[in-house]
Amino acid sequence: MTAYDGDALPVQVWRHASPLRRELVGAGRALQDGKVVNLRLASARLDGLLIRPGETLSFNRAVGNCTRRKGYVDGLRLAGGVPIAGVGGGLCQLANLLHWLVLHSPLTVADRSEHSVDPFPDRDRVVPWGVGCTIVYNYVDLVVRNDTTATFQLRFRVAEPDLLGELLVDRPLAATYEIVARDEEFVRRDGAVHRRNEIWRHSTDRRTGDVSTDLVRPNCARVLYDVDPELVVGG
């Protein structure tokens, strides 16, 4: 994994814009503003990085420890699904965006930890539930490995009102990728409501049009918001 000061690689794999601020109960304006400060600093650490064949990207190693000395401030974090203040808070949004980009490529997700709770309903959600990541320096990480012969490049920047992410590559890829959620349901388990689904990836061969499908991962998390009892299996 190396930094790159030249021109951007020529082929776009995937691009996504993630809103910087959301209406979340308990998350005041100051924490959301602090999150934006932290995302600017952390995004700069990833922007332009190359992942060459055989290389591995660790989110924690690339971004580093987010301390006040480095300019990080109190931002929005979730502890058990509850919004709290924390130095460097908000970087899960950057990890989530990185993971979403990687899922649309042949890069390998070598390590990723999901959220154990689902804290908010799907207001204005544009990506499937269950593709997010948990990041805790220095023992809960997102690790991506390049098992291909191509070189990939990350591009990230804060451009109000969004966090922008882009994955580039040095040559056209053999396939395109679509990420979908299946078997979405709410179930009651041990007196609590849980949300379940499966994340699948459809890969379409650019030359033949053949489609292959693989399971990315199943998800299950305890729900922290009210769900209509009629939607809960076993409810």
Domain membership flag for residue 72: yes
Determine phi and psi for 206, rounding to 5 degrees.
-65, -30
Domain membership flag for residue 211: no
Domain membership flag for residue 235: no
3 pLDDT tier (thresholds 50, 70, 90): low
Domain membership flag for residue 134: yes
Domain membership flag for residue 203: no
Domain count, the chain: 1
∠ CA 84-88-90, rounded to 5°: 65
Task: Give pLDDT tens digits for 87-128.
Answer: 999 999 999 999 999 999 999 999 999 888 888 888 778 899
d(CA 92, CA 96): 6
Domain membership flag for residue 19: yes
- pTM (2 d.p.): 0.94
Residue 74: give the domain boundaries: 11-172
